Amino acid sequence: MTESSTPYVLILQHAEWERPGRIQESLEEAGIPTRILTILDQKKPELPKASEYCGLVVMGGPMGALDFDDYPGLKAEHKLVKAAVEASKPVLGVCLGHQIIAVALGGKLKKGKEPEIGFGHIERVNRHEYAPLDSEGMDVLHWHNDVISVPDGATVIAKTDVTKVQAFAYGSALGLQYHLEVSPAILDQWLSTPAMVEGLKKSQIKKIRDDFAQKDACIHRVADATFSAFAARCASYARALAN
C-alpha cells in the first residue's frame, strides 16, 4: 500500500473548540494519520469512501444529535456511524458524538434531569476492554445537557446519579459522554469561549480550572489507555484493509 493510500481515522468535528485533543495524540503516537471533516451544514456532503479510513471519531458540539433541520449534515453522520459499526470498523464518540452513536444504532435521546458541567464522579457499571476503568470509578470532566438510552445489545460501562449512561459499547463502537480528550490547552480555550461558559459564574469557572489542575494526572492516564486501545483497534482494521 502506498503512503497516499494509507488508511486514516476520520474525525467529524462540530465546533472549532471541540477538538480531538488527546484522541489525536494517541493516533499520532500509533502512526495513524487523521482527517478532520465538518459537514454539519451540508445536506449532501462529499464523503470519503469507506475503504479510505480505518476508524471513525465523532466529536462533541453544542447542537443536539437530532437537530437535522438546523444541521442537515447530522443525517450523514448517523449513516456513517451505522455503516461503520456494521462493518466492524472502530468508532469513538465523545459527548454529542456519544449521543449520535447511540441514536444511530437505535437508542433514544432526551434532555437530562439537569446539566452536568464540571468535574464529577462516574461509577463503573460493567468492565469492558474498550474503556479501562477501575472498579471505584473516577472523577471526570462533564459538559452536557442531553442524555441517551442505549440501543438493544449495548453494554453500559459507566454512569452517574444524574446520567445513567456515561459510557457504553456496542459492537465496534465506544461512546463517552464525558471528556477524556481535553488537554490543558483545550480547557483554556473552552473557558474563554462564550458559548461554553454562558450561564456559568466566575466561581464555577475557577473551580473547573482548579479541579482540572488537581485531577488531570489521573484523567490523562485513563485517556491514554482508552485512546491508545482505540488506536490499536484502528491499526488492526487498517491491516485488514491492506490484505
Q: How many angstroms separate the CA atoms of 226 and 102, rounded?
A: 19
Catalytically annotated residue among 77, 78, 95, 144 = 95
**In 10 A of CB 140, how many CB atoms?**
25
- 208 CB-near residues (< 8 Å, 6+ apart): 117, 118, 119, 141, 187, 191
- Measured over the CA atoms of residue 122, residue 123, residue 128 and residue 133, the dihedral's sign is positive
179 flagged as catalytic: yes
**In 10 A of CB 239, how many CB atoms?**
12
Q: How many angstroms separate the CA atoms of 30 and 20, rounded?
A: 15
181 flagged as catalytic: yes
**154, 181, 173: which is closest to 165 by C-alpha?**
154
Catalytically annotated residue among 14, 98, 144, 179 = 179
Residues with catalytic function: 95, 179, 181
